[in-house]
Every structure is written in structure tokens, then in C-alpha cells.
């Protein structure tokens, strides 16, 4: 308990003991819940004021059994294995730590399950969803009072710097959920919201220093809960960005590690080789495999040792605790390929056992569809089989839509690469679980990627809204934000209108250029159509071989057929329904979604244009 410690003199079995109601002991997880399937909980206790090396543990709480106690080489820690019976009731479990004639008592709450018990959260994402991805520090400042927090190492606040904090927070995001819904977004994904008490570069969130604390400069746990509840009240979903591979250098589990093997240790700093191939290469060396998985991401992000069972339990329990505490619907898993894959299978399975509808997709920034499919549930005959449901689909981006928009058409060039990449979907167990995107927080924005050609951006957005998979829209794409990812701060600029002093405001459209307003309108129309389209959100896909830069594919089910026509050439092209009889038979024409114009069975599509057409009888 926080506050002044209370000293109580008690007599136990004829001996006099000093019992201290401690305020210095921390527990991870900080609490647990009744009626959970994961009912064997390993509680890691920490106190920098104590030495637990020879301590014993006692617990007397109905339905909670002490199974085992673990000591560490660092006496600041002790781990307690508890079994929580189905009969256990919510309440405060008193964990007594006895050391000689001194008893330290830590109160560990056992809470009721979150309201809804998994039916109103942990719903997962699928093709019916549109994910809006943003960085809280760069989206909107809803509470200027938390811009700086006393005691944290990074006290920067300067919107003129691409690397310093800008003050955006979770309240700012909550204030603009109407805007997200107007875009057709059903789901919010943010860069990590956990505490990053690092000296610098804290704006991105990928260097956690306490898993059980939400970043105070974002508003802390209260603001995160409020945002989650506001999303669910609207029927929207929340994805949490999970980082299992590494932590920040100033995490207490780095600065004051329980044991030397909590992290991957090297004689001198050794960085990962960032090469995925050694994981599945039948000819790979053990050395290359080890460097990939065990090398540190950067000097500021130490690599966590998943083969240590205490580390594995710590991370898995935190994932379950987060879903139950904050009502998470799905997981985006950072730097998936650098994790111990056997550990990831365990973690994924634990989440799905506890929350059967929850979904996960991993960042697998690799090169090649077979490489990417290896890390997901797949149809490949390999010794290791991943249970990851889907991936962030870098292949349809790097070897699909980017060359389609930027290269001249050829036998294997231009839009032929997009067709070819999608033809490899046979590698996946279910390619519709992959998350497709045009850009993100690490990559050059789509407008800059296509030479600031607005027609090409529109083609990209139209593809994003209609292709198989789950679309992810990066904040600001809809108003033509640009930036080249060298350095990455240029693709992480502030969203126009997120700060009271902004002269340009996307939310009100004040100060936007005509081109920006047009792009915003274009995105909204496609996003809203997508939301109501059964063919796109639940249907199948059929694509036709590209011809002279013209690429046609269909999304269809028993109730609706949507024809998607992408003309990547610099000349107008003629389109005839008779060339696509398998999908156009029985239809007299269609309606172009964005313009609302009627489309005949033969029509001409302008150069550098994509049309999304709902076919009509």
C-alpha cells in the first residue's frame, strides 16, 4: 500500500514477529482476475529495499494456493507460483514474505473479470474492418497538462523538432473518434502506449521501461481505459502494439535484472543482422540464426531472452492482463521475426485460449512471399509451423502496389508484380488475415513514394480499400501528408489540426487546400462504401492477368459484385465486360462508387485512374 508504513506487533505460534505492511514491494502482474483459464499465475515480486535471497512465502486466502517459490541471484526479486481455483472470490490476497523475524506483507488484488467477459472486447479484426494507425504523440493534444511529467528523464517538448516530444495524447485521440468513423475506420491501432522513461526519442513508444504502466504523458491508465470504453461504445475496436523482442535500456528489468540471463548477453555489443533467411534456410549457419534472434535491436533496446521461463511467463501474463484490463481486441506484434518463434507460438496460443476471438498480426518486414508466409499460418511443409494468424503484408506493398504505381508495365514489371504477388496467396492458410497498407511510421509516405502524384495516391487508396485482406490507413494519408523516411521523423509529423494553435485543421477542413479536401472526400467515400459492402468485407476475390497496364479484379459474394479497374498506363484504356464474363455475366452495367456515375458494359477508363464499380443488373 502507498503511504506511510504501518508497524504491527503480532504473536505467531509463540514467537514474536515484526510485521510490516510494505509500501516498497512491487508485483508483476500487479493483480489478476477470477475465473481465468490462465489460473496458474507467476507473480514476480521486487523490492530494492530488501534482500529476498533467503525469504519464505506464506498465503492464506480462500481458493488461492501457493505452489512454489523461486529465488534469484539478484535478491531484490522473488517469484511466487499461485494457483487460483474456480471458487476464488475477488478480494485482496495478502502475500507474506518472511525473512528471519521480519514479515513483509504485500497486498495483491484479485479482481472480477472485465464487464462483457470477452463478448464486448477481444473480438479480433477481419476483412470487415478498416484500421486507422496513428502515433499518439503526433496526432492530437487533448490535455496540455500532461505534456511534461516531473521526474521523467525526457523533458523535451518542441514541435519544431522531428525527434522530440510534441504533446499528443490519448485524450486527443478520443476527442476525434467521430473523424475516424467518418473515414470508415472501425479499428484504432496506435504505436505503443506503455511507459518509455528513456532520456530521448520517447515519442515512438518502442522502448518500454515498465510494462505495467501506461505512459503518463499520454494520460496514463485512466486515459487509456476511457479511450477503450469510448471505442467500444461506438462498436469500434482497439489494437495494442506489443513489443516482445526488446525493452528500453532504462527498464528496471535491465537496470536491475533478476538474473544475468534475463537478457541475451554478448561479450561486446552485437546487433541483430536483420536477416530473416537464416530462420528457414536449410543451409543456414547456427551463428547467423543466433545473431538474428539474439542480437540487440539497438544499443537502446536490449534483446529479451525468451528461453528464460520467468521472462516468458512475465511477457505472456502481461499480454493476457492487458487484454482483460483495457479491453483490447487484437494485437499487432512488433519485430516479429526477431523473437524466439517457439515462445511466440506459446504466447499466441495463450491469448487465443483465454480470448478465442482475439486476432494477432506480426510485423514481418522481409523480402519474398515465401519468406513472409513462413512466419504466419501457412501451407508450407517445414519443420517449424507458426500459429501467427496474419502478418503486416509488406509483400503486397514492396512487390505489389509500389511497383504497380511507379514502374512501367511489362511482362514482370509494373502492375504485373502486384498480380504475381497476390497469386502467391496459396502459401498462406488464410491470406485475408494479412494487413495491407500503403505506408507506415517507418516507411516513406505514399505521396512521396509516388513522386507526389495525387492520381497515383488515389489509385493506391482505392486498391487499399478493395483488395483482399485487412486495410490499414496511416494517419494523414487521407490529407496528402508527405515525407521520406530518412530519417524516420519526417514520416511522423503532426496531424494538421491536432493542436489548438494549428492554422490548418483537418477536422474542420479549415486551411486545407482544394487537393487535400478532395483527397479526404475520396477516402471517406471509399471507406464508407467499404464498410457497407458485403462483397469486400466478406466476399472472395478474382483477379485477371494485367494487359498493357490495365489490371482488373473483382470482389464478390452471392449478394454483390464489385469490379475494380486499375489503369496504371499513361493512356486511356477501353474496358469491355465481355472480357471478364466469369464475373460480369448477368450484369447490365454498374455505378462508380466515388463519382456516382453510371457505367456501361463498355467504357473508357482514363490514364492513371482506378475505378471501383458496383455492378448492377
Q: How far is CA 263 from CA 43, 208, 246, 257, in A?
A: 19, 14, 9, 8
Length of the chain: 617
Provide the 10 A C-beta neighbour count for residue 500. 9
- Give the Cα separation of 251 and 159 in Å (integer): 26
Phi, psi (degrees; rounded to nearest 5) at 155: -110, 15
Residue 432 near residue 468 (C-beta atoms within 8 A): yes
- Give the Cα separation of 238 and 187 in Å (integer): 6
Long-range contacts of 344-351 (CB under 8 A, 24+ apart): 344/244, 344/386, 344/388, 345/386, 345/387, 346/312, 346/316, 347/244, 347/312, 347/315, 347/316, 347/319, 348/387, 348/388, 348/389, 349/387, 350/38, 350/316, 350/319, 350/320, 351/319, 351/320, 351/323
Residue 319 near residue 355 (C-beta atoms within 8 A): no
Q: Which of 197, 276, 334, 478 is catalytic?
A: 334
Active site residue 478: no
Provide the 10 A C-beta neighbour count for residue 496. 20
- Give the Cα separation of 519 and 195 in Å (integer): 35
Active site residue 363: yes
**Beta-bridge partner residues of 362:** 333, 391
Q: How far is CA 440 from CA 367, 437, 481, 522, in A?
A: 17, 8, 12, 20
The secondary structure of 36-80 as a DSSP string is -S--EEEEEEE-TT---TT-EEEE-BTTEEEEEEEE-SSTTEEEE
DSSP-assigned letter for residue 17? E
Q: Which of 195, 363, 439, 494 is catalytic?
A: 363
Residues belonging to the active site: 334, 363
Amino acid at each position: 500500500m502507498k503511504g506511510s508504513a504501518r508497524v504491527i506487533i503480532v504473536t505467531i505460534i509463540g514467537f514474536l514477529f515484526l510485521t510490516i505492511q510494505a509500501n516498497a514491494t512491487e508485483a508483476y502482474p500487479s493483480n489478476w482476475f477470477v475465473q481465468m483459464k490462465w489460473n496458474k499465475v507467476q507473480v514476480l515480486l521486487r523490492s530494492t529495499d530488501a534482500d529476498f535471497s533467503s525469504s519464505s512465502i506464506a498465503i492464506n486466502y480462500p481458493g488461492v494456493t501457493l505452489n512454489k517459490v523461486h529465488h534469484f541471484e539478484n535478491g531484490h526479486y522473488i517469484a511466487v507460483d499461485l494457483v487460483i481455483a474456480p471458487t476464488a472470490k475477488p478480494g485482496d490476497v495478502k502475500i507474506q514474505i518472511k525473512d528471519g523475524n521480519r514479515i513483509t506483507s504485500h497486498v495483491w488484488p484479485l479482481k472480477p473479470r472485465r464487464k462483457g467477459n470477452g463478448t464486448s472486447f477481444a473480438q479480433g479484426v477481419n476483412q470487415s474492418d478498416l484500421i486507422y494507425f496513428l502515433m499518439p504523440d503526433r496526432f492530437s493534444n487533448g490535455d496540455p497538462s500532461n505534456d511534461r511529467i516531473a521526474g521523467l528523464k525526457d523533458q523535451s517538448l518542441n514541435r519544431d523538432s522531428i525527434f522530440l516530444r510534441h504533446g499528443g495524447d490519448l485524450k486527443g485521440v478520443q476527442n476525434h473518434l467521430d473523424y475516424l468513423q467518418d473515414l470508415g475506420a472501425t479499428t484504432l491501432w496506435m504505436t505503443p502506449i506503455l511507459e518509455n522513461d528513456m532520456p530521448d526519442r520517447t515519442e515512438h513508444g518502442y522502448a518500454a521501461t515498465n510494462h505495467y504502466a501506461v505512459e503518463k504523458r499520454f494520460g496514463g491508465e485512466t486515459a487509456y481505459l476511457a479511450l477503450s470504453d469510448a471505442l467500444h461504445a461506438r462498436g469500434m475496436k482497439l489494437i495494442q502494439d506489443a513489443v516482445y523482442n526488446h525493452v528500453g535500456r532504462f527498464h528496471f528489468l535491465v537496470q536491475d535484472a533478476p538474473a544475468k540471463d534475463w537478457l541475451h548477453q554478448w561479450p561486446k555489443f552485437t546487433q541483430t543482422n536483420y536477416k530473416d533467411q537464416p530462420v528457414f534456410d536449410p543451409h543456414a549457419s547456427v551463428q547467423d540464426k543466433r545473431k538474428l534472434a539474439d542480437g540487440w535491436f539497438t544499443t537502446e533496446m536490449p534483446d529479451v531472452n525468451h528461453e528464460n521461463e520467468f521472462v516468458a511467463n512475465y511477457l505472456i501474463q502481461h499480454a493476457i492482463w492487458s487484454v482483460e484490463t483495457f479491453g483490447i481486441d487484437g494485437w499487432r506484434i512488433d519485430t516479429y521475426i526477431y523473437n524466439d518463434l517457439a515462445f511466440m507460438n506459446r504466447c499466441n496460443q495463450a491469448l487465443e485460449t483465454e480470448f478465442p476471438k482475439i486476432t494477432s498480426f506480426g510485423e514481418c518486414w522481409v523480402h519474398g512471399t515465401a519468406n513472409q508466409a513462413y512466419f504466419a499460418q501457412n501451407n508450407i511443409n517445414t519443420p517449424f509451423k507458426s500459429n501467427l494468424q496474419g502478418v503486416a503484408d509488406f509483400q503486397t506493398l514492396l512487390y505489389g502496389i509500389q511497383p504497380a504505381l511507379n514502374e512501367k508495365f511489362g511482362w514482370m514489371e509494373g502492375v504485373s508484380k502486384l498480380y504475381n504477388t497476390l497469386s502467391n496467396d496459396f502459401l498462406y492458410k488464410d491470406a485475408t488475415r494479412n494487413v495491407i497498407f500503403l505506408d507506415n511510421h517507418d516507411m516513406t509516405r505514399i505521396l512521396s513514394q509516388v513522386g507526389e502524384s495525387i492520381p497515383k495516391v488515389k489509385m493506391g487508396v482505392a486498391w487499399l480499400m478493395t483488395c483482399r485482406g485487412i486495410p490499414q490507413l496511416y494517419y494523414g494519408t487521407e490529407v496528402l501528408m508527405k515525407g521520406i523516411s530518412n530519417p524516420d521523423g519526417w514520416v511522423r509529423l503532426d496531424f494538421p489540426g491536432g493542436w489548438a494553435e494549428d492554422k490548418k485543421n483537418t477536422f474542420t477542413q479549415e486551411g486545407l487546400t482544394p487537393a487535400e479536401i478532395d483527397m479526404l472526400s475520396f477516402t471517406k467515400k471509399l471507406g464508407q462504401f467499404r464498410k457497407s459492402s458485403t462483397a469486400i468485407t466478406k466476399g472472395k476475390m478474382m483477379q485477371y492477368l494485367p494487359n498493357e497496364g490495365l489490371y482488373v479484379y473483382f470482389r464478390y459474394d452471392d449478394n454483390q459484385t464489385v469490379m475494380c479497374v486499375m489503369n496504371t498506363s499513361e493512356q486511356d484504356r477501353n474496358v469491355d465486360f465481355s472480357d471478364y464474363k466469369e464475373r460480369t455475366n448477368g450484369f447490365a452495367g454498374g455505378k462508380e462508387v466515388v463519382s456516382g456515375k453510371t457505367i456501361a458494359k463498355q467504357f473508357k477508363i482514363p490514364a492513371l485512374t482506378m475505378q471501383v464499380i458496383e455492378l448492377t443488373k
